[in-house]
C-alpha cells in the first residue's frame, strides 16, 4: 500500500519537477521504517537522461527474450528495461499510460521487485519520476564494499553518502576540492563505487523479476 500511495501522490502532484525517493536499510536509510523523501527541482536528473535497453540474461550479451515474454505476460501495461552506460546498474519500470491498469501494475511490479531484493538482503534505492509513471530501482553494495575495504580512499574522502538522490545524479558535495574536480568522469567514478557487478546485476534480474 505504501508504494501505491507514493505513486498516487506523484500523479496527484502532476509535476515533472517532483520526485519521490526511497532508501532501503543498507542503502542509507536513516531510520528503520517505511518513508519516502520528496522534493522539487526544475532540473532533469542524469538518470532521466540515460538510455535504457532490454534486460540481459546472466552471462549473455543478448537480450533475454524468455524473461521479456514472462514480464510482458505478467505486467502487459509496463515496459521494463535496464539502464545503459549509467554508472550504477539499475532497472527502469515505465507505465504505458494509455494501457488499462498501468498504475496498478506499476505498483505491483515495484513491490514484487523490492520484496525480492529485500528477501535476499540486497540493499536498494528507488526513484519515482515523471509524475509517477517512471520508476528507477538500483541495487547497491556500497556498505558491503566499505566493510570489505575495497572503496578507493579518494571516494571515501568525499564524504558523499550515495543514497537515492545521489545515485540519481544529484550530488551534494562537502569539500571545495571536490567542487573543483567535479565533472562527468569524476561523478561516474564516484557513483561506480556503489554499483553491483555486471554478473550480480544479471543474477538479480533473473531472480527478482522472474
Query: Which active-site residues does the annotation give?
Result: 35
Q: Where are the alpha helices (DSSP H) in 75-197?
A: 102-119, 142-148, 153-157, 164-168, 176-181, 184-192
φ, ψ of residue 63 to 5 degrees: the values are -60, 145
Smallest CA-to-CA distance from 133 within 6, 1, 23, 27 is with 6
The alpha carbon torsion through 56, 46, 50, 205 (nearest 10 deg) reads 10
125 neighbors 140 (Cβ within 8 angstroms): yes
Amino acid at each position: 500500500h505504501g508504494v501505491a500511495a507514493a505513486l498516487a501522490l506523484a500523479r496527484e502532484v502532476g509535476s515533472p519537477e517532483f520526485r519521490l525517493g526511497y532508501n532501503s536499510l543498507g542503502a542509507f536509510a536513516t531510520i528503520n521504517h517505511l518513508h519516502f523523501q520528496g522534493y522539487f527541482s526544475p532540473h532533469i536528473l542524469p538518470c532521466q537522461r540515460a538510455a535504457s535497453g532490454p534486460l540481459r540474461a546472466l552471462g549473455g550479451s543478448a537480450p533475454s527474450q524468455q524473461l521479456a515474454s514472462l514480464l510482458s505476460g505478467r505486467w502487459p501495461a509496463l515496459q521494463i528495461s535496464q539502464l545503459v552506460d549509467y554508472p550504477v546498474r539499475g532497472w527502469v519500470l515505465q507505465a504505458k499510460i494509455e494501457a488499462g491498469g498501468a498504475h496498478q501494475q506499476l505498483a505491483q511490479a515495484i513491490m514484487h521487485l523490492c520484496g525480492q531484493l529485500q528477501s535476499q538482503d540486497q540493499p536498494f534505492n528507488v526513484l519515482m519520476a515523471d509524475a509517477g509513471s517512471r520508476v528507477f530501482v538500483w541495487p547497491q553494495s556500497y556498505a558491503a564494499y566499505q566493510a570489505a575495504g575495497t572503496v578507493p580512499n579518494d571516494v571515501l574522502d568525499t564524504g558523499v553518502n550515495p543514497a537515492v538522490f545521489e545515485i540519481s545524479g544529484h550530488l551534494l558535495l562537502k569539500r571545495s576540492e571536490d567542487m573543483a574536480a567535479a565533472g562527468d568522469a569524476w561523478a561516474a567514478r564516484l557513483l561506480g563505487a556503489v554499483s553491483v557487478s555486471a554478473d550480480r546485476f544479471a543474477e538479480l534480474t533473473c531472480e527478482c523479476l522472474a
